[in-house]
């Protein structure tokens, strides 16, 4: 097991690892730009005369393209140097977003072109998701892995918050085309930064087809009971809650407290994410997955508060608790995967994680409206609350979730500690 050049001395923080520092800065820049785009796309479609249905189809094209190709991204991430996969995807995204932005600025765009280029951006973006997640353990020693994961998530969430706000201001000031060109520029900068990162290729077996490699990843997922159980919980979460938030949340809050209140709720939700991230910088128990899954029950607070709809303070509290609990679980989940999955299968496992988590979301988005109209908004939100809570509590009864322990590394001054994934 070889050491990276900057790990010849003991690292005290992840930031002392140059690959981690460069990747994280590039991730923050591209996440900021990617958070601008949803706002810009919505106004671009509307400015082209599109309807709400057409906007939904454009968004669905992006989401479906992303889910459809993420397993291929996992295979690539276990075959090729992961930094090169992420860098190439960032460059391709810069091109697709640049063309889309120019088409809007120059006036030769159309709703069909917006949908097509959005789908292409979704495809190239999903090819890099597994590699970006799996790279972390290759860049820092094992004793810094938790902090590295927490820092990446905390900075990524912060970049999203700023990007969402900047997106609205940019669209209002210069129009959706220029806002999307800003996103293209962030991808270009991230690609240039990542070009300087060199990491070894995973030790994948040569000569297999993409399908055969994907099946190896599937077997790795099924080998860990806690892994496939919690992917199933994520599927239920996105089928019920994520769809209800996207469809019913704005309606319920707008009717009760006005349009601005939904923006406050989403802002408080992100504050909850950041608060949870700060906690994980210092605290992660030995049974991290079990404790994280217990905190995941807090995600039921937001739909419950929306269903009760008693006052805005309760809604904001529910939003904060939702983000806080979900972030504690997310860090524990990421840490558990990186500590327990074989490094040469890690990207494929992340690919199945993304696929299993999000594959049912389009179905939920399509069905939430009709079901809520049939039974009533509040009643359906109570159903969502019950399903999310029941799925999480059921996962807590699974022995593999309860007993999985962290692979606690030696102290940072132990000379025998080796860098993770080296």
Q: How many CB atoms lie within 10 A of CB 209?
A: 9
What local confidence, expressed as pLDDT, does residue 259 receive? 62
CA of 184: how far to CAs of 35, 89, 102, 174, in Å?
Answer: 12, 12, 10, 15
Q: Of the segments 147-156, 312-321, 342-351, which one has the largest average pLDDT value?
A: 312-321
Whether 41 contacts 176, CB under 8 Å:
yes
Indicate the fold that domain 215-403 takes in CATH. Answer: Growth Hormone; Chain: A; (1.20.1250)
Rounded to 5 degrees, φ, ψ at 406 are: -65, 145
Task: Average the pLDDT over each of 153-167, 239-253, 384-398 and give the range with the smallest value.
Answer: 239-253
Q: What is the pLDDT of the chain when averaged over all its residues?
A: 82
CA pair distance 162, 182, nearest whole angstrom: 14
Q: How far is CA 324 from CA 81, 137, 269, 327, 330, in A?
A: 34, 24, 8, 5, 10
| Closest residue by Cα to residue 318 from 376, 249, 269 | 269
Closest of 38, 42, 204, 196 to residue 121, by C-alpha: 38
Report d(CA 288, CA 279) in Å as an integer: 13
Instruction: Tell me whether domains 7-202 and 215-403 share a fold.
Output: yes
Q: CB neighbours of 3 closer than 8 A, spacing ≥ 6?
A: 418, 419, 422
What pLDDT, on the 0 to 100 scale, is given for residue 205?
61
Say whether pLDDT at 392 is over 50.
yes
Domain spans, the chain: 7-202, 215-403
How does residue 5 score in pLDDT terms, banded at 50, 70 and 90?
very low
Residue whose pair of structure tokens reads 């276990």 in the numeric block? 78
95-110: pLDDT as tens digits: 999 999 999 998 898 8
Residue range 7-202, CATH number: 1.20.1250.20
């Amino acid at each position: 097991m070889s050491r990276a050049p900057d790990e010849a001395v003991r690292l005290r923080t992840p930031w002392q690892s140059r690959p981690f520092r460069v990747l994280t800065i590039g991730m923050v820049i591209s996440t900021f730009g990617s958070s601008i785009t949803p706002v810009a796309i919505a106004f671009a479609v509307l400015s082209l005369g599109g309807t709400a249905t057409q906007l939904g189809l454009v968004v669905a094209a992006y989401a479906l393209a992303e889910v459809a190709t993420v397993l291929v991204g996992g295979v690539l991430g276990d075959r090729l140097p992961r930094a090169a996969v992420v860098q190439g995807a960032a460059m391709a995204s810069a091109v697709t977003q640049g063309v889309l932005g120019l088409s809007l600025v120059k006036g030769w765009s159309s709703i069909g072109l917006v949908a097509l280029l959005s789908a292409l951006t979704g495809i190239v973006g999903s090819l890099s998701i597994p590699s970006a997640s799996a790279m972390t353990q290759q860049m820092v020693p094992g004793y810094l892995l938790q902090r590295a994961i927490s820092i990446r998530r905390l900075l990524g969430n912060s970049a999203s918050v700023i990007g969402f706000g900047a997106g609205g201001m940019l669209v209002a000031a210069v129009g959706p085309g220029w806002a999307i060109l800003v996103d293209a520029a962030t991808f270009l900068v991230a690609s240039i930064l990542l070009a300087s990162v060199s990491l070894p290729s995973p030790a994948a077996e040569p000569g297999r087809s993409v399908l055969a490699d994907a099946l190896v990843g599937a077997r790795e997922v099924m080998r860990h009971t806690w892994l496939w159980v919690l992917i199933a919980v994520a599927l239920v979460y996105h089928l019920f809650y994520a769809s209800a938030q996207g469809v019913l949340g704005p309606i319920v809050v707008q009717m009760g407290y006005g349009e601005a209140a939904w923006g406050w709720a989403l802002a408080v939700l992100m504050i909850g994410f950041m608060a949870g991230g700060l906690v994980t910088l210092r605290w992660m128990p030995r049974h991290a997955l079990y404790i994280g899954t217990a905190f995941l029950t807090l995600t039921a607070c937001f739909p419950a508060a929306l269903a009760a709809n008693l006052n805005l303070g309760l809604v904001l509290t529910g939003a904060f608790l939702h983000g806080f609990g979900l972030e504690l679980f997310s860090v524990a989940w990421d840490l558990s995967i990186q500590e327990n999955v074989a490094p040469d299968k890690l990207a494929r496992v992340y690919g199945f994680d993304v696929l299993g988590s999000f594959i049912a979301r389009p179905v939920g988005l399509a069905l939430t409206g009709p079901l809520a109209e049939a039974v009533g908004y509040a009643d359906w939100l109570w159903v969502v609350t019950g399903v999310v809570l029941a799925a999480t509590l059921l996962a807590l009864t699974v022995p593999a979730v309860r007993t999985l322990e962290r692979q606690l590394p030696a102290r940072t001054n132990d000379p025998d500690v080796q860098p993770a994934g080296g």
